[in-house]
Amino acid sequence: MRDLLLILAACCLLFVLGCSDQATSPSTEPAAAADDTAMPESVQELLDSYALPRADLPEGVSIVGPTELPPYLYDTAYDAYVVTIIWGSLCNSITPTGAGVDWSGTASVPTPARVMSRLTIGFEPGQDWLLPIFSSNSIAWVSWTSFDFDGVSFWIFQKHDETSVEPQELTFSTDPFTKSWTFKQLERFCAFYLIDDVGAVAIHARKIRNYVCPWGVIVGEWIKADATGREGRIEGWWLAHQDDPVTDAIASLKGLMVGRFWTNDDGTGEFEGSLSGVFTDQVLAEFEGRWHYDDPTLCPMCGQGHGVFEGVYRSLEDNTTTGTIRGEFGENGTFYDVVALPLRGTWHQDCPNLADVAPNIAE
């Protein structure tokens, strides 16, 4: 995030002058390394710029591909929270010290609550990365900072009828700083922790309101170019829920979807495509996202027979209607020579007022 040095320099000046009058949400729990401090205005703006959900993300952000399909933000059976945490040199000397700080760590919640990573912030190739983890209640990363900062944005989902004997809290754990916050705090929370003269941690969290938004289903085929399944095309139909007409702006998106999928050199899968009308070839929307195979059979003669995809779409008619798509293709145990895999999924339009999860919540 070297391109944000001016912001960081301004942050430093604001902190030294004590110019931020935006008090953070109080925390009665003791911190492991520091107590929360008045949030510098520029750090607040930095947190706001990364808050989810939003389409206009700044540079230095990577969208995390799907490893497990989370509940939808619109599923009223869950309480959902969106959290952004950044760490590193948020407010120190503008002269690089050359000394790196190891911020490798985890963010975890008690089972059966789930945490799903969505963005990495300022991660540099070969230096910072998310670690593979086989648990739905934590994420882990490797992070080194030296006169810069890293961070993650993620969702927390807690089903209403699921309880845990453990404290209902989020725990951020690294060598420089460890801290826990209750789910109640995360409903509307913003805090800044100055650890020493070279490090700080800032957190921005909000409980997401559940809205019933327009949605529907996707049916079609995931067609592999050959048995390896590394690339191919997507063909399907974009339908309203139960194939009933819908009356809002998404109605025009009911139509034919076509696209392609491929595998990058680093092994990640991506897809893209467009949606056109039923009776015309007018392009109504474009979509893109990530995919991967997850066939657990590990049958050498069966090949990759099942996978999942997740992405976003944007209407070209008004350029403001956006939403998410996700689903699965194939069946576990499908033989390698089957190239046309059945595809099924759903689309959800973003509610206009979902953007209110990302205001300056320190006011």
Residue 170 tokens, joined: 């989020």
CA distances from 36 to 48, 178, 277 (A): 18, 12, 53
In this prediction, residue 321 carries a pLDDT of 79
pLDDT digits (tens, 9 = 90+) for 281-328: 788 899 999 999 886 555 555 557 788 999 999 888 777 778 889 899
> For the chain, how far is it from start to end, CA to CA, in angstroms?
27
Whole-number Å distance between alpha carbons of 45 and 192: 12
Residue 35 tokens, joined: 């107590």
pTM of the complete model: 0.55
- What values do phi and psi take at 4, rounded to 5? -110, 20
Is-contact 40 91, C-beta < 8 A? Answer: yes
Residue 241 tokens, joined: 């829920």
In this prediction, residue 205 carries a pLDDT of 92
324 pairs with which residues across the strands? 312, 348
Is-contact 63 28, C-beta < 8 A? Answer: no
Please give the single-letter amino acid code of residue 47: L
pLDDT digits (tens, 9 = 90+) for 290-299: 999 886 555 5
Residue 312 tokens, joined: 């976003």
pLDDT digits (tens, 9 = 90+) for 125-138: 888 999 877 678 89
327 pairs with which residues across the strands? 309, 345
- What values do phi and psi take at 207, rounded to 5? -80, 135
pLDDT band for position 45 (50/70/90)?
confident
Q: To the nearest whole number, what is the mean pLDDT of the chain?
A: 75
pLDDT digits (tens, 9 = 90+) for 56-115: 555 666 666 545 556 656 566 788 898 999 998 876 544 444 568 899 999 999 988 989
User: Beta strands 144-145 and 101-102: pairing type?
Assistant: antiparallel
